[in-house]
Amino acid sequence: MSEENVRAVIPSLSRKTGWFSHTAYTLVVTDERMLFVHEDPKEASAFAKEAAAKAKAEGKGFFGRWGAVLSSGYDYVRNYWDMPVEEIAARGKESIAIPLGRLRSVRIIKKLVYDKNQEMDVFECSLAVEHTGEKLTFSLRGNEKNVREALQSALGEVFRA
């Protein structure tokens, strides 16, 4: 039996769960499945506090600790590249696993919407995943081009750009 490998890690996804609530996810694509890993805010906060404490122990000042906290989110997600896939799959009660064989299509939807706060039109991106069970939609933050390239590389023809 071959070992399952991580092919892509895409942070900063969210899924609407109510009128004003969202659940945060990180997408981990492996050789065999897509894992939407539920991100517990308490765990991420503890990771940030740990980074601040480590920076303080190293003698860093305010800005050094602040930088450590800001980069801790990146480090938190980067850990998925080194974790065993089964450990990733076991994280979070609300995590979602979809075998690649069940995928029908994965695509990024980009639409123009009016943002009241900025008083201008802005692009809003979402990730639509259609599989034999249902269709899932996630809001996408971050660099859409990098996400597109990572999914194209990891999923091939299932991903429709």
Lowest mean pLDDT among 26-30, 45-49, 86-90, 128-132: 45-49
Closest by CA position to 25, among listed 17, 41, 14, 9:
14
Domain-by-domain residue ranges, the chain? 6-45+79-160
All residues at 6 or more sequence positions from 132 whose CB lies less than 8 Å from its CB, including other chains: 102, 104
| Top-tier CATH class for 6-45+79-160 | mainly beta
Q: What is the 3-state secondary structure (H, E, C) of 26-75?
A: EEEEECCEEEEEECCHHHHHHHHHHHHHHHHHCCCCHHHHHHHHHHHHHH
Calculate what percentage of the chain has a pLDDT beyond 70. 87
Q: If 0-12 CB within 10 Å is exposed, 13-18 middle and 19+ buried, where does residue 13 land?
A: buried
Q: What pLDDT score does 45 carry?
A: 67
Average pLDDT over residues 27-56: 80
Helix (H) or strand (E) holding 144: helix 144-155
